[in-house]
Amino acid sequence: MNSATLFDAKPPVDDLPPTTNDNGQPPRRRRRLWLRVLVALVVLALVVPAALFAFAYAGSDIPRPSDMAVNQVATIVADDGKTVVAKIVPPEGNRVEVNLSDVPKPVQAAMLSAEDRDFYTNSGFSISGILRAARDNALDKESAGGGSTITQQYVKNAFVGSQRTITRKLKELVLATKMTREWSKDDILAAYLNTIFFGRGAYGVSAASQAYFGKPVGKLTVEEGAVLASVIRSPSALDPETHLNELKLRWNYVMDGLVSMKTITQADRDNAGFPKIIPLSQIGGGEAPGPEGHIRTQVLHELAEAGITQKQIDTLGLKITTTIDPKVQQAAEDAAKQSLKGEDDELRTAVVSIDPRSGAVKGYYGGDDGAGLDFAQAPLQTGSSFKTFGLAAALKDGIPLSARYDSSELTVHGIRITNVDGESCGKCTIAEAFKRSLNTAFYRLALSMDNGPQKIADMAHAAGIPEHIPGVNGISLTENGGEPETGIVLGQYQTRPIDMASAYATFAASGVFHKPYFVSKVVTNDGEVLLNNGGDAGKQTVPKAVAENLTQAMLPIPAWSRNHNLWGGRPAAAKTGTTQYLDTGDDKDAWMVGYTPSLSTAVWVGKADGKPIYNSWGGPIYGSGIPSDIWQLTMEDSLEGTDVESFPWPDPIGGQAGVPSNSYVGTSGSGSRGTGGGGGGGGTAKKPDAPAAPAEKKQVEIFPGFFVPVG
């Protein structure tokens, strides 16, 4: 064997040394290593997420459909149960929950066409939907939709929010999957339709139906349903007021989808036209910006006092039935507007009407701005309309309407007490002085009673003036928390129009006080009654004879006050009042408060800044002027068509029942006004003359033991 043969000879294969790479590893071992790494990556990519998904799935808690509380609007209605007074809208918008059966099938299908055509077959998320959305968005199609299913969208809105993170998206998928297994598809769709935002401040399909078409959801057409389904994707970018062309493109996509879903035929599609959408300016927000806004505020206060929480108000779709009578409410608003027309633009008025038999507030006008100052709740000086409580206190003290008082001027501690235009009836009965509203006689009346000012305050509180009035420090009708001054009888202290209507209602009810209230019934959307209020049973806080004799003394006043008696001879008891602006002699507050057996109404006229008030002719405004006009119109329109009722004849006090026939009658005047000042205390005055012997009772017995007055 030569050397060449020796070196060219190849060893057996098995004897060859193993091939190595740069790292010294054989290729086969290297392939096995990469295979193992690949398998490990696949395991990590599939098994670990699956395990995490399973863990998250098991730990997620999905409530039952019945447990879900969605925000929705509460509706305030009048006592007829139908007339909408106002709405209470949650922060998230105007939502009214409806059952899925209330939504027409074509409208339901339009929602699926727009957002999730595989809704009834997918498992909470849709791979095909995600891929389709990616494709359409990559191609920049105008009609491109999102990749989320309806279930995912609902989970995002109700549970996880819209934060753009992987963690949030994974949680959304987990909950959507679990919800699909635990809820029925119909329940998911119903929850979705009641919570999704449609733009125009409308949350839920019911509110959207009103916002876009001004009709109930049950009356929507398929074309209208397609519009609502279209705007879900981007309510601002598809707003019909600003992006109508873009909305129509999306609408066409939804309508074409309805054909592919076999909800409508191609012929129906060809004949379909884009529906008319109501202008944004015609949409009612429901927040009650007008006079009804003040009613809404009082309703909310009353609901809180009854223990009904804000969460219940926002989530239970409450129907809140109030005591407001639409006829009385309209009468008050019309009377206010009609009587102030052509007058100073700065004049304001408050009108409150209450049912004396229950305390139900039947009409409530605190001003035109429902979000502004409510003058029906404003503490104001009442002037001579407070003399009513002075006379009631005197009657309770045993002083009859026939008692006589000097009506000439007097000065107490340097304070001069006068009557308007020097009016006087000499030494006349207190009933006559009351009709003429003579300050001097009533100041002497207050002085004639032991601790008279306090008795007057006590009578006012008993009738219904609250001891604690918002905006008034300490106990009302007191001098800085101490004893009231004698000027209380002239109306120097503050009360509110609603308090005056309530207290006078007590006199109308023969001394029985009923706490005023606004809410009669509260029912949830599913029929649960949270509150059923018929008013309190009433309490005899003023002696019956006192209230009924007082009423007799008030009956002549409407006619005396520039012929403001009610039409058809309907009996009505009333009292006017006016207060001065500082010591200027100008008037700043003017009142008319009065009642029939079925309705008590208080009217105030003044300015927000408490400055002097003048009528369109430049003259001062008295209670017998504009306030009496408003009162008369409100009462007549409210009571039109109702029975004419009479007041009961009173039992005598001090030997006198009703107004004595021998009152001195002097020259007529325009009434009087309280000074609005302190009036001072102390001083002495003669006790009233002993009453004249009562005249023979002018009564006829029509049934055994039942008498009626005659003459």
Closest C-alpha to 378, from 677, 602, 77 = 602
CA distance linking residue 672 with residue 461, whole number of Å: 24
CA distance linking residue 205 with residue 211, whole number of Å: 10
User: Are 343 and 615 spatial neighbours (Cβ–Cβ below 8 Å)?
Assistant: yes
E strand segments, 454-586: 494-495, 512-513, 519-523, 529-532, 539-540, 573-580
User: Are 112 and 145 spatial neighbours (Cβ–Cβ below 8 Å)?
Assistant: no
Report residue 509 as tokens. 């009810």
115 is catalytic: yes
Side-chain half-sphere exposure of 546, counting CA atoms within 13 A: 25
Q: What is the CA radius of gyration of the chain?
A: 40
Q: Angle at Cα 700 formed by Cα 695 and Cα 705, nearest 5°? A: 105
Q: Judging by beta carbons within 10 Å of its beta carbon (0-12, 13-18, 19+), is residue 643 exposed, middle or buried? A: exposed
Q: Judging by beta carbons within 10 Å of its beta carbon (0-12, 13-18, 19+), is residue 640 exposed, middle or buried? A: exposed
* Helix 222-231 with 244-260: angle, nearest 10 deg: 120
Closest C-alpha to 385, from 597, 591, 563 = 591
- For residue 137, what are the CA distances in angstroms to 132, 133, 236? 8, 6, 19
488 three-state secondary structure: helix
Catalytic one of 97, 115, 333, 485: 115
Single-letter amino acid code for the residue at 48: V
Catalytic one of 209, 384, 502, 520: 384
471 backbone φψ class: left, alpha, beta (φ>0; ψ -120 to 50): left
396 three-state secondary structure: helix
Single-letter amino acid code for the residue at 44: L
Side-chain half-sphere exposure of 519, counting CA atoms within 13 A: 25
75 three-state secondary structure: strand
Return the active site residues. Answer: 115, 384
